[in-house]
């Protein structure tokens, strides 16, 4: 990809709280107009990274630049370009959605008319009713999340940061969120989104897997799958009676396996080794190739790191 397309550049970023390194020497670039996904378990450092890029947390070491400008030194210029939706629910619970919007918009020097027009469009798109008369605290979780998203997008920011926007929402809400996110990217906005839903990660242009403050894998979903699964993973169906023996035999042969429902999912670089290990159980299992999912990639990346 063209160099000039890099909008966010993170280099050797470390953020420490006391002796704890929440983010530990992370480097990556985000390109203009892409959906960049950040995956990882809770506490992996996703939120800390996103906050640092938004300029509300200072790096302990390393740098974050947006369009070549250091974030911590040019917050005044960058903040109007940023739309941030925190993982915490941040609207004022005692104000109505409309009042929250009016407040948020006015901080970006929008006129009441502009705010109303823009929020009407956003609400329409997300499928949120207009002019809810109740204070935000009376609304359901999904509606609150949508309102928070609308509030973050109100001033039409070119860089959108969404920290677990879909956590705890219904499948319909998630679908609406992702429709909006894709639409934003089509309009040329750069979207930086964290999630721990692996299926959502498939919608991202590129994803970074984060684990204990470090990025352990980075690329498009396709690239990651190819990187970690040069050979497609195998799924073994078996009769329950042999599960323990079978897993033990695989372990002896040095093959990593994971239980998925009634199946075992294994990654074997050498089919011959697998066949040999399973030979004693002939007739009691069945092997087939399956396409890898990001979940496979994630497990593989984490276990690979642990094995090192």
The SS3 of residue 111 is coil
**Nearest to another protein of 101, 297 (CB atom):** 101
Token representation of residue 300: 């593989």
Give the total of residues touching another protein (CB under 8 A): 31
Site string for another protein, 64-103 (x = CB under 8 A): -----------xxx-xx-x-x-x-xxxxxxxx---x---x
At a CB cut-off of 8 Å and minimum separation 6, what does 215 contact? Answer: 26, 27, 28, 208, 209
Q: Least distance from C-beta 88 to another protein, angstroms? A: 3
Residue 261: burial class (beta carbons within 10 Å; 0-12, 13-18, 19+):
exposed
Stretch that binds another protein, among 36-44, 54-62, 218-226, 291-299 (CB under 8 A): 54-62
Q: Tokens 């750069």 identify what position?
A: 190
Query: Contacts with another protein in 110-149 (CB under 8 A)?
Result: 135
> Residues 117, 119, 122, 126: is their CA dihedral positive or negative?
negative
**C-alpha distance across the termini of the chain, in Å:** 31
The answer to the question of residue 1 lying near another protein (CB under 8 A) is: no
The answer to the question of residue 28 lying near another protein (CB under 8 A) is: no
Q: Least distance from C-beta 191 to another protein, angstroms? A: 16
The SS3 of residue 194 is strand
Which of 4, 42, 68, 109 is the binder for another protein (CB under 8 A)?
A: 109
Give the C-alpha separation, 150 to 144, whole Å.
Answer: 10
**Nearest to another protein of 26, 201 (CB atom):** 26
Question: Which residues contribute to the site for another protein (CB under 8 A)?
Answer: 17, 51, 54-58, 75-77, 79-80, 82, 84, 86, 88-95, 99, 103-104, 106-109, 135
């Amino acid at each position: 990809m063209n160099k000039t397309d890099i909008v966010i550049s993170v280099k050797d970023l470390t953020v420490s709280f006391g002796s704890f390194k929440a983010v530990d020497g992370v480097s990556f670039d985000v390109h203009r107009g892409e959906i960049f996904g950040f995956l990882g378990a809770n506490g992996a450092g996703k939120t800390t990274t996103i906050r640092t890029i938004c300029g509300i947390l200072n790096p302990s070491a390393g740098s974050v630049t947006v369009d070549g400008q250091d974030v911590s030194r040019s917050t005044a210029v960058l903040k109007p370009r940023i739309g941030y939706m925190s993982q915490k629910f941040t609207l004022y619970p005692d104000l109505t959605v409309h009042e929250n919007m009016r407040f948020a918009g006015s901080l970006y020097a929008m006129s009441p008319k502009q705010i109303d027009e823009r929020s009407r469009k956003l609400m329409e798109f997300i499928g949120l009713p207009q002019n809810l008369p109740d204070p935000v605290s009376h609304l359901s979780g999904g509606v609150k999340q949508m309102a928070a998203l609308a509030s973050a997008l109100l001033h039409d920011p070119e860089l959108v940061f969404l920290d677990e926007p879909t956590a705890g929402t219904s499948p319909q809400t998630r679908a609406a969120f992702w429709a909006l996110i894709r639409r934003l990217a089509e309009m040329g906005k750069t979207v930086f989104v964290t999630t721990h839903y692996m299926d959502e990660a498939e919608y991202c242009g590129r994803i970074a897997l984060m684990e204990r403050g470090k990025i352990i894998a980075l690329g498009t979903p396709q690239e990651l799958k190819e990187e970690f699964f040069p050979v497609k993973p195998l799924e073994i169906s078996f009769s329950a009676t042999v599960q323990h023996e079978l897993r033990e035999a695989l372990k002896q042969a040095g093959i990593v396996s994971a239980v998925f429902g009634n199946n075992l999912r294994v990654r074997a670089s050498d089919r011959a080794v697998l066949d040999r290990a399973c030979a004693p159980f002939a007739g009691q299992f069945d092997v087939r190739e399956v396409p890898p999912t990001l979940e496979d990639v994630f497990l593989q990346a984490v276990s690979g790191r642990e094995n090192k």
